[in-house]
Each structure stands twice: as structure tokens, then as C-alpha cells.
Chain A
Amino acid sequence: MPKPAEPLARLYQATVLEHSRQPHNFRRMERPDRQATGNNPLCGDQVTLFLREADGVVADISFDACGCAISLASSSMLTDLVRGLPPAEVQRLAREVAAAFNSPDGDLPGDLAALAGVRNYPARVRCATLPWRTLGAALEGSPSPVSTE
């Protein structure tokens, strides 16, 4: 019998588990400039992003979530990647990352590279893309929650 650890280790890499166990910027924000909530109705995952802008860049970003290791890690990595970028660049990044998760070999920047293994799990890709779709909605000021469905 194969050891389950072998293929699974590519999905649940140490970097992913570090982010999911102790997510970065995991807090609600008082009076954010932008905020959006995303749902994955199939599994019940939910993520809310909070953004504050200053001097033409995202000065602060945080999130609150109820979700699996993949969605928590992706959200945590997102906050690290987005802080300090101008909103237009964030919007572009959100589109590119969501597309990269859904393509066989698209580039995943920063720690997100550790999540590349999720592409082998069609049912789990939406866990990784949920915060990025939510980010897009936050920047568009979309008033209703986004859904992965």
C-alpha cells in the first residue's frame, strides 16, 4: 500500500500548514475602507477581507474566516502579498492568481507556490481561490457576498 503521506505532502506542505495554523493578519478591522465576504456554499467556507488605503496603496489588510487549511493559508498569504500595493495592481494580482490556480502551470507568486499542489484536487481549487475572488469583489466594492458557485 502507498503511504498516504507521499501525495498528500505535496498538498499540505509545511509552508501551507504554518500559514493555516497561525494565519497572518487574522483579525477583524474597525472601520475599513473596503470590505467583502466570500462564501463557498458547497463546504460552508467563508472569508471576510478588510482593507485600509493610504497614500495610494493598501496600507493595511486583514481577514476573518471560517474555513479549511487551504483557504486559511491562501488568505494568509494573500494579506502578505497585497500589503503596500496600489489598488489597481492588487486588482490585477487577484485576477492573475485566480487564473493561475485554474491553469496547469500558471505562476503563483510568493508563498502561494506552496499551494500549487491544490491543482490536483479539483474539488479543492475553489478553497484556494475563494479569498482571491473575494479580494476582487472588495476592490470593486461589490455589495453582495461573492460565491464560488
Chain B
Amino acid sequence: MNAYSQPAGVTARDLLDVERIRRDFPILHQEINGYPLAYLDNAASYQRPRSVLDAIRHYYEHDHANVHRGVHALSHRATEAQEAGREAARRFLNAAERAEIIFTRGATEAINLVAYTLRETLQPGDEILISHMEHHSNIVPWQLACQRTGARLRVVPITRSGELRLDEFHRLLNRRTRLVAMAHVSNALGTVNPVAEITAAAHALGIPVLLDGAQAVAHQKVDVQGLGCDFYAFSGHKMCGPTGIGVLYGRREWLERLPPFQGGGDMILSVSFDHTEYNELPYKFEAGTPDVAGAVGLGAAIAYLEQVGMDRIAQHEAALLEQATRAIAALPGVQLIGEAQEKAGVLSFNIEGIHPHDLGTVLDHQGVAIRAGHHCAMPVMDFFGVGGTARASFAFYNTRREVDQLVAAVEVARRMLA
């Protein structure tokens, strides 16, 4: 059974009532250039159900004030609203306690928070281990940390099918490794990495593990305690939540050990010009007035995903990915980029003689929104010897009809340009 196969007799229709779900997403019901919009750029950003928009609006219309500061009713309600969002995120990741959920602007800031604070413990000769399939946001923060400390960035290579070279991972992991930072799911290839095995191997040497979950949380149930990872980062806007909010999960032991990230209000217990005492977790890492509306929207997004059901989401998307992969691979001159056994949500491909940007423009003309380019993963593109790829990425609200629309649009592009 390969990555694209489905249990016999199971169709997408059995798993999810997609048409009913789509009614919850106002933005999906529009035409682009006279065609129905087929939004297949979900790996870049998801769309939001009305419940998320309503929750944000309700918060601003009824409950907004600054948090943790006022004795008045609205301040209390705003604080409660933010903490409800935090509790939703804790439940979503199955973290042990709410204090382990740090709100950030997104996965990028979450990774930067760890890179910046861990930096103070790094010394020349120390090593940070990442993989060749990382998004730039899980490369550059570590490069900056290494440049400032003399630590060394080491990179686990990948195979031609886009899988992590586990043999190389085990070889590169050593007593000088200070952290392993890996994508849970690759944004450019769709590869699902064996993160439980990675974490177990690192922990056997006492090395902490950070997982970039930006492309994972909307596609499958994530259990940070089950995975055993020390840090887990994700973005709200890639799982039906608002832009500008994200989460860093950190195991208490590590969050207590790391110094504060930014200084300001909310992250302190007391301040004098001689000495400042930092606040308890999670507030130690949350300087300044937080994005309360973002936390509210995130909580609503989590509730929505939970109601649809992560298992059904994963099955529906697997069926769409299989349908799309089969149809696109059957076209002449197609090169699939990323053919891992375990994949989630992403179909990256090139067509001989057509640059991905031209393909993207022709598809847009037919209402099909995909991403064309390097997907902020230039090392991946270099590895496959391509300047970029066309990437269709699927969400649970996508339909088989939209996959058909994608394939038909690619055929038009091929006839016009190849």
C-alpha cells in the first residue's frame, strides 16, 4: 500500500459532507475570471469558517479590553477569552498544562523564540541538527544563532523521493548536538516525517527536539505528549484561524530553563531599576498586550476542526491527494516533486517546458488558485534541480470536482504553453 492508496470502497463522500462544510466558508463561494474558485493554496494559508469570524467579531463587540490589567468586567472577560483560546490549544496538542502554550505571531516567531533564547547556552563546537526539507523559517533562525555563537548547523539529507535519510540522521546525531529542529510535515513536498522515531533517538542522547508543525496540525491529530517532543510550533492561519497568531508549545522543564524572549509588560512580576522578576509561565514569554482576538479566533478554529473531526479530515484529504496525484501524474511530461510513502495535503509538480509561474497564471485564469515558486524552501528546490514547482495543496473543504477543475486547467496550460 503506497501513500496514495485508500482502503477499498471508501470514497470522500462517505467520510465528510463537504458541501455542508463549504457552506460555513463564505469566501469559497465566488467566481474568479468567470470560473468557480478552486482554492488549492491551503499550504500557504487556509480559509476561515464563519464561526471563527463571528467569534472575533463577538469578542470586539462585547468583551474587549486589555488583559490581566484592569479590575473591571471587560478586562476580566478579555482575560477569560484569551485563556479559553490557550486551553483550546492545549487540548488540540494534548499538552500536559496550559502554561506550556505560548502565544506567538505564528510558527516563524515560535521557532525564533526558541532559537533566540537557546542561543545564550550555545558555544563554539555545539551543533544544531535540521533537515534538507525545512522551510526557510526553520533554517534561518538557526543560522543566525550559529553565526552569533560559533555553533554549527548540520543538515540531514533527503532522498530523491523526498524522504528524510534516517541513516544519516542517526549518523549526524551526536553528543555535540544541542537541538534537533525538524518539520513534522514538509510544506514543499508534503512528506510526513517519522517524528516519533526522531524524538526517541534524540532523547536517548538527552537532546531536545523542536517540531515545526505549521503544515501538520490541520491535517492530522497531533499529540505532543505522545510524540514526546520538547517544542512544537504552529500558525493559526494554516488551520482555519486568523493571521497574526500562533503557538509555541514547550515542555515546562525547557520553558523554565530558557531566559525570557522579549521584555515588556505582562512578562514581569515586579520591576525596579536594579532588578526585574519575571512572570510565571506562560507569561514570561509574552511581553506586551497580546493578540486577544487572535487567541479567540484560534480557539474557534480549533473547535471547528474538532467538530469536523481530525480523522475524517485526514481521510478526506488523502482521497483528494490520491485523486490529484493519479490524474496529474498521468499527463505527459509531468515530474512529481515529493513522492514519499507518507504524505499529507501537498502535490508539488512540474510540467516539461512550462515554468511554474506561467502555469500558475494560466490556472488562475481558470479559477484555480495554486502556489508557484520555491515555497520558501530553496534548498529543496536546489536538491531537485528545479527553480520552483507548482504546488496544489488540499484542505478538508476541497472537493473532487475542484481536483477535476485543477486537472482540466493544467491540460489547458499544457496545450497552450508546452
Contacts and interface: CB of A to CB of B under 8 A. Distances in A.
B34 A66 contact: no
Contacts of A17: 417
Interface of B: 33-35, 353-358, 361-362, 365-366, 372-374, 378, 381, 387-388, 409, 412, 416-417
A11 B356 CA distance: 16
B357 A8 contact: no
A68 B34 contact: no
The 6 closest A-B pairs by CB, nearest first: A68-B355, A68-B357, A2-B34, A44-B374, A44-B387, A66-B387
Q: Is the interface of A mostly helix, strand, loop or mixed?
A: mixed
A145 to B, nearest CB: 14
Contacts, number: 61
A46 B409 CA distance: 27
Contact of B365 (A8, A44, A46, A70): A8
Nearest to B31: A1
Given A43-B372, A124-B361, A67 B417 contact: no
Given A2-B34, A4-B362, A12-B358, A44 B378 contact: yes
Contact of B387 (A12, A21, A67, A127): A67
A127 B357 contact: yes
Given A68-B358, A69-B355, A127-B357, A43 B366 contact: no
A114 to B, nearest CB: 15
A127 B361 CA distance: 12
A17 B416 CA distance: 9
A45 interface: yes
13 contacts: A1-B35, A2-B33, A4-B366, A7-B33, A7-B365, A8-B416, A12-B362, A43-B356, A45-B357, A45-B387, A67-B355, A68-B355, A121-B361
A42 interface: yes
Contacts of A46: 387
Contacts of B378: 44
A32 B148 CA distance: 39
A8 B387 contact: no
B162 to A, nearest CB: 18
Contact of B357 (A1, A5, A7, A124): A124
A69 B417 contact: yes
A17 B373 CA distance: 20
B416 A12 contact: yes
Interface string A18-52: 00010000000000000000000011111000000
A36 B219 CA distance: 44
Given A1-B34, A7-B33, A121-B361, 17 more contacts: A1-B35, A2-B35, A4-B362, A4-B365, A4-B366, A8-B365, A17-B417, A43-B356, A43-B372, A43-B373, A43-B388, A67-B355, A68-B355, A68-B356, A124-B357, A124-B361, A127-B357
